[in-house]
Structure 1
């Protein structure tokens, strides 16, 4: 969900524009430790020469004007020094992704904001997102864990027992042979989830706790501190094993709350592309127990394809607002499909309505809803107000070049940009091929497949040819105007620049001729 539902609902005043925010236009100071730079500087000329040859290298994609990048720089440098002095093979590097010559790298690795950090492992074509701490000690600790084996050997029953007591989820692989194809598949999946869960393996199934009973090798048992306590799988196709972990490593029904444990699960759920259902109702209602029982039963039957989240309506008004709902609409169930960004809602439901609604969604028969503000009666200002229900007419079918700022009313960076953006609208108002618009992304559904909005403000140009161009330059008037002029495309049916100039010249000559004729008439 974008903007991230958790941030929007649990920290509505926190800036979501950390990555694409309006940063001071200052250069990132060169971070040196003891007069030496430990972070490797990369660019388009040496990236493909250095990165593939390192066993494990982290690359920071930064912009010189970004304040968050400047804050990270000294910590990143300290971490690089600490890793080198400890004898670690882990390397830290950086690339100026705002430099024109490096734009290709930023596009290739899908850099949407700054700073973006990616982990590259030798032999892997796909880098992993860095989601660890931003302080030197935290970076070092996180990367040492990341660079080690994704799964470790369980030496004893006590070892597994202690892990299961201290970790919310422990994934145990039981094998006849650690050289087997099954073990390789297990290791691959362990690598995918190494930041999230603990993976261990053994060739002795007797080391497993009694929970779940005997397990014949090769198989995997996921031990968890919730629900039934364990889940087993004996299939070693990587995608199936991955889906198994995603399904069983979170509770069957997850509480939408501020509790740190719940938030950990919620973060994983909302980062996933898997559909999720959310049920909001009053926990004090007479039929509250019926709601939970029915929802849990539906979750058991559908947990392979949908995540299920539950929340107290009285304390989740921000979540309801995100979906265009109020407390008066509850009990309500929402299903969100991140792949299509589709939202499906049923208001004022009863427990018996839950199963039919989920079945209707899975059959493709549920009605999709779009959250939208009302279309403005007067939209004559230099910056047009864009709402979800007007996207087709104002953007996709307009045939024009539309500059769009996606903002949040509470965002400080957006407030700072507002007068500048108005000046941009006034500057470009004379260009009939251009529309300057803004959309409140907290009050309108944003088509994420077209415009990826992960922070505020986010600015895109949707050209007359249907191309989407992201803006990541400085948020000044000159930069924005130049961006539009550089990237706009000809409007179909409109005269070319040369034709327009010829028409203007002919019109001017015609006016001169008329003026001359008037003079003769006066004589």
Structure 2
């Protein structure tokens, strides 16, 4: 009887205390520990958790960004709660969720965790997390509804709109790629809307990249495999500028990367070349086309054997990991007839006229961003231990050799004395 009363009392406390805690922290970042972590995860439909360490500089830079984002996200129609936990201190929680670097960010949707690899600035973080609570597919029924959807989606993610398509045609793929794009179907639209987005018949699936002023149209067939191939190839813009955030996006894309390295991606000549690359990308969807300015990201460019004396622009094909390919007689792009030179570069690559090379030392930074700094520290520690063992082994071997030599010399002297 006492046990039942105790459980009842505990239940009443949870019912009363937890909502009070929610109201108390509404609009602020929740500080979690081992006593309330599981309760928080089960109580909120959507909760964004920062697994941090107090000594981590990246964590300390992230903290004020979370403070800015928290009140905005808590005010959404479907709120997202932001929380954090000292994963260095509460190691049981860190171990349970396999935290191997700081900060590690996860979104718990109805208690199920998924890794967050999106932006960390408050404004973009808000845009990114809004997607987790949005409908998988938004149904719009007028031109104004289409315009409102595109404006609300913003410019950070690609947008897919099915004109004349049934919601069920893309719902499964919308769920699968929800973290990467916005999806909608338009039930009713005018010819003016078709002219605006430059397509002439329906059904059609429109892919928009507002941030890059790019769009493409897919007219079918609308079976899952063909639809998914179009969506996969349209998640990235035709030409992708290399940045830290965009480098993370490439992790999920299995295509090889045609990388063009220019002196400065903002100058007039580079912009003209990028337009030509966009045309080549449209005709060669089996590649990702990317570019980087030596002035914008020197360390990254140098990993592909580019220095101050290298003739630029230079093109290579990168596998996204440790290997890239130089195309024989087609590395550098001259100023004249660059479109033909890009075409020749691709033809020679497909013919196998390449030299395989290993990525330069800058790849270490890329590796650390993938596996987490704690793992890197462990690897460095293990290498140091192996080196120490090898060194000690050599010294012991050297000492043993010296000892044997000394014994032989002593024996020889003893024998000479007896003689």
TM-score of the aligned structures, taking structure 1 as reference length:
0.53
Deviation at 1:193, TM superposition (A): 1.5
Superposed counterparts of 1:400-479, under 5 Å: 441-442=361-362, 452-454=367-369, 470-471=376-377
Whole-angstrom CA distance in 2 between matches of 1:343 and 1:42: 50
Whole-angstrom CA distance in 1 between matches of 2:75 and 2:268: 58
Residue 92, structure 1, aligned to residue 77, structure 2: no
CA contact (8 A) 1:173 1:221 kept: yes
Deviation at 1:329, TM superposition (A): 2.3
Extract unaligned runs of 5+ from structure 1. 1-31, 257-262, 373-440, 460-468, 474-479
CA contact (8 A) 2:257 2:288 kept: yes
Report the structure number with the largest CA radius of gyration.
Answer: 2
The one of 333, 337, 345 aligned to 2:315? 333
Q: CA-to-partner distance for each residue in 1:342-384, whole Å, 9 max, x for gaps?
A: 2435434454443233133335442113466xxxxxxxxxxxx
Q: Secondary structure at the match of 1:453?
A: helix
Residue 305, structure 1, aligned to residue 286, structure 2: yes
Deviation at 1:66, TM superposition (A): 1.0
Corresponding position of 2:135: 149
CA contact (8 A) 1:227 1:252 kept: no
Corresponding position of 2:206: 221
Corresponding position of 1:424: none
Larger deviation, residues 244-253 vs 333-342:
244-253
The one of 345, 363, 382 aligned to 1:357? 345
Q: CA-to-partner distance for each residue in 1:139-189, whole Å, 9 max, x for gaps?
A: 6675345323243232421232355578555321346654x3x24224314
Whole-angstrom CA distance in 1 between matches of 2:277 and 2:125: 41
Residue 40, structure 1, aligned to residue 32, structure 2: yes
Deviation at 1:267, TM superposition (A): 6.0
Extract unaligned runs of 5+ from structure 2. 1-23
CA contact (8 A) 1:280 1:311 kept: yes
Provide the alpha-carbon RMSD of the alignment.
5.5
Q: CA-to-partner distance for each residue in 1:378-408, whole Å, 9 max, x for gaps?
A: xxxxxxxxxxxxxxxxxxxxxxxxxxxxxxx
CA contact (8 A) 1:119 1:130 kept: no
Whole-angstrom CA distance in 2 between matches of 1:91 and 1:518: 82
CA contact (8 A) 2:160 2:207 kept: yes
The one of 165, 171, 175 aligned to 2:160? 171
Whole-angstrom CA distance in 2 between matches of 1:367 and 1:159: 52
Deviation at 1:117, TM superposition (A): 0.8
CA contact (8 A) 1:221 1:232 kept: yes
Whole-angstrom CA distance in 2 between matches of 1:172 and 1:230: 11
Corresponding position of 2:48: 58
TM-score of the aligned structures, taking structure 2 as reference length:
0.63
Residue 244, structure 1, aligned to residue 233, structure 2: no
CA contact (8 A) 2:166 2:185 kept: no
CA contact (8 A) 2:208 2:216 kept: yes
For residues 216 and 522 of structure 1, do their structure 2 counterparts lie closer, same or farther at Cα, with a shift above 3 Å needed?
same
For residues 507 and 293 of structure 1, do their structure 2 counterparts lie closer, same or farther at Cα, with a shift above 3 Å needed?
closer
Deviation at 1:338, TM superposition (A): 0.4
Deviation at 1:191, TM superposition (A): 0.9
Residue 184, structure 1, aligned to residue 168, structure 2: no
Q: Secondary structure at the match of 1:307?
A: strand
Q: CA-to-partner distance for each residue in 1:316-363, whole Å, 9 max, x for gaps?
A: 877654422245423432221205532435434454443233133335
Bigger RCO (CA 8 Å, 6+ sep): 1
| Structure in which a larger fraction of residues adopt helix | 2
The one of 182, 193, 216 aligned to 1:209? 193
